[in-house]
Amino acid sequence: MAGPDYLEFDTLSLHAGQQPDPTTGARAVPIYQSTSFVFKDSDHAAALFNSERPGHVYSRITNPTNAVLEERVAALEGGVGAIATASGQAAMHLAIATLMGAGSHIVASRSLYGGSHNLLHYTMPRFGSETTFVDVRDPQAFEDAIQDNTRLIYSETLGNPGLEIIDIPAVSEIAHAHGLPLLIDNTFATPFLCRPFDFGADLVFHSATKFLGGHGVAIGGVLVDGGRFDWEASGKFPTLTEPYEGFHNMNMAEEYGPAAFLNRARKEGARDFGACMSPMTAFMILQGVETLSLRMRQHVENTREVVKFLSQAEGVAAVSYPELESHPDHDLAARMLPKGSGAVFSFDLEGGRDGGRAFIEALSIFSHLANVGDAKSLVIHPASTTHHRMDAEALRGAGITEGTVRLSIGLEDANDLIGDLKRGLRAAKRAGK
């Protein structure tokens, strides 16, 4: 197969990282449901353990099925490689743990998925890593929050649930001026709508559970290394630039150059933390990746129709979607997300919490559950579910009200979805009387 530089997105989503099986001729990616792999001889075993030759030893670290998914997502994002993990949270933790240690600091957007906020605000401080949360729409706020011990800048491409957009070129320039990498959660956008590396980001991860998989059947994550950050020039990351006693005193930057981060994450994090993806999960997510572009086009088309309806509907106080001229990030979306602003957005009901409850319980096509990115349309009330651990101030900072409802628009007929929403709005109106 031709290299990724010569192929377009739709082709890469079907072919990157894989050729027909040389033994059987199978066109589909085989599921290598094996914990471990036989060595040819003692020299072969030693070479694999010393990273002197490519191959697989144990599926916690690498697996042939997982490797196809890793190479494919890396190709779609334009990175040098990737690591498949047990979940999106595991991918985020792997990135942080590879770079951070006790006494380190992160600057992060405050417009984050509730689980990400919880990890940074409540959990990581127990291990000596603190986070300062800032307004994602203010690049200067990121710079003002940088401390001597800051080691990472973090944000989502599209904030959850308000769809705030980070100005990646501006924030990456600030990060690099301070010798820091920029980590982006690209779950909502997917590489079809936005490739953060093209705008200056250094690391990207996905909850592959969402749009990459696309069918709500598998939990997984993928961490991608852009291969462009100069770890040695930064001078702030001894985990990558000094000999690592845990792996033959290897200096990752010297040994692997642009892929230093990826290899440290795999040889330490995948090995020691153990949050690996199963081969069956990798296979299922690959099925979703093969149709990613087709699905995202329909997701966006349906979303535009639903947004148009809700923007004019009685009982809706506000709709937050970047393609609306009223959205604060409308111009930025046009530059960074020209194919569309995704399929997840939020709107505010006039009926508050009671109206939101009545609205959701009246729906029949939309499924009330804690997920996004499914082929089926989904709905949730963030303040009482995904973001319930956030206090009132944090909720306000994340752009969430008592009446905020988050929708994930699926692949159903848009007219049917609008009909379902009409039923919900009528129920919300009755509840508010």
Amino acid found at 6: Y
Domain residues for the domain of 350 are 293-431
What pLDDT shows up at residue 85? 98
Contact residues for 116 (Cβ-Cβ < 8 A; gap 6+): 89, 92, 156, 185
Of the residues 240, 264, 288, the one at which a domain ends: 288
Q: What burial letters (b/e) apply to 386-401, b meaning 16+ CB within 10 Å?
A: bbeebeeebbebbbbb
Report the C-alpha gap between 175 and 170 in whole angstroms.
9
The mean predicted confidence, pLDDT, of the chain is 94
Amino acid found at 351: G
Specify the range with the lowest mean pLDDT, choosing from 145-149, 308-312, 351-355, 394-398: 394-398
Question: Is there a single domain that holds both residue 149 and residue 259?
Answer: yes
Whether residue 393 has pLDDT greater than 80: no
Contact residues for 141 (Cβ-Cβ < 8 A; gap 6+): 134, 135
Question: Is there a single domain that holds both residue 125 and residue 187?
Answer: yes
Percentage of the chain exceeding pLDDT 70: 96
Cβ–Cβ under 8 Å, residues 373 and 187: yes
Residues 137-175 have pLDDT tens digits of 999 999 999 999 999 999 999 998 789 999 999 999 999
Q: Which of 188, 182, 252 is nearest to 224 (CA)?
A: 182
Report the C-alpha gap between 272 and 252 in whole angstroms.
17
209-213 average pLDDT score: 98
Residues 364-377 have pLDDT tens digits of 999 999 899 999 99
Residues 97-113 have pLDDT tens digits of 999 999 999 999 999 99
Confidence of residue 184 (pLDDT cuts 50, 70, 90): very high
What pLDDT shows up at residue 105? 98
Question: Is there a single domain that holds both residue 306 and residue 244?
Answer: no
Residue 251 sits in a domain whose CATH number is 3.40.640.10
Question: Is there a single domain that holds both residue 199 and residue 248?
Answer: yes
Contact residues for 266 (Cβ-Cβ < 8 A; gap 6+): 61, 62, 83
Question: Is there a single domain that holds both residue 369 and residue 229?
Answer: no
What pLDDT shows up at residue 35? 97
205-217 average pLDDT score: 98
Whether residue 4 has pLDDT greater than 60: no
Of the residues 288, 303, 338, the one at which a domain ends: 288
What pLDDT shows up at residue 3? 52
Compute how many other C-beta atoms are within 10 angstroms of the C-beta atom of residue 364.
Answer: 10
6-35 average pLDDT score: 94
Contact residues for 216 (Cβ-Cβ < 8 A; gap 6+): 209, 371, 374, 375, 376
Q: Which of 203, 200, 113 is nearest to 159 (CA)?
A: 113
Residues 277-326 have pLDDT tens digits of 999 999 999 999 999 999 999 999 999 999 999 999 999 999 999 999 99
The token duo for 18 is 């894989």
Report the C-alpha gap between 38 and 311 in whole angstroms.
60
Strand partners, 108: 133, 154
328-338 average pLDDT score: 97
Question: Is there a single domain that holds both residue 71 and residue 144?
Answer: yes
Report the C-alpha gap between 147 and 100 in whole angstroms.
14
The token duo for 295 is 């699905």
Question: Is there a single domain that holds both residue 298 and residue 278?
Answer: no
Residue 421 sits in a domain whose CATH number is 3.90.1150.10
Report the C-alpha gap between 140 and 71 in whole angstroms.
35
What pLDDT shows up at residue 114? 85
80-103 average pLDDT score: 97
Global pTM value: 0.94
Q: Which of 228, 227, 198, 193 is nearest to 212 (CA)?
A: 193
Whether residue 2 has pLDDT greater than 50: no
Contact residues for 404 (Cβ-Cβ < 8 A; gap 6+): 161, 346, 347, 348, 356, 381, 382, 383
The token duo for 64 is 């042939």
Whether residue 433 has pLDDT greater than 90: no
Specify the range with the lowest mean pLDDT, choosing from 152-161, 236-245, 380-389: 380-389
Whether residue 265 has pLDDT greater than 90: yes
Question: Is there a single domain that holds both residue 265 and residue 334?
Answer: no
Question: Is there a single domain that holds both residue 311 and residue 363?
Answer: yes
Helix (H, G, I), strand (E, B) or coil at 237: coil
What total of structural domains would you count in the chain?
2
Question: Is there a single domain that holds both residue 282 and residue 305?
Answer: no
Whether residue 52 has pLDDT greater than 90: no
Question: Is there a single domain that holds both residue 276 and residue 353?
Answer: no
Question: Is there a single domain that holds both residue 328 and residue 273?
Answer: no
Of the residues 288, 309, 343, the one at which a domain ends: 288
198-227 average pLDDT score: 98
Contact residues for 37 (Cβ-Cβ < 8 A; gap 6+): 55, 56, 57, 58
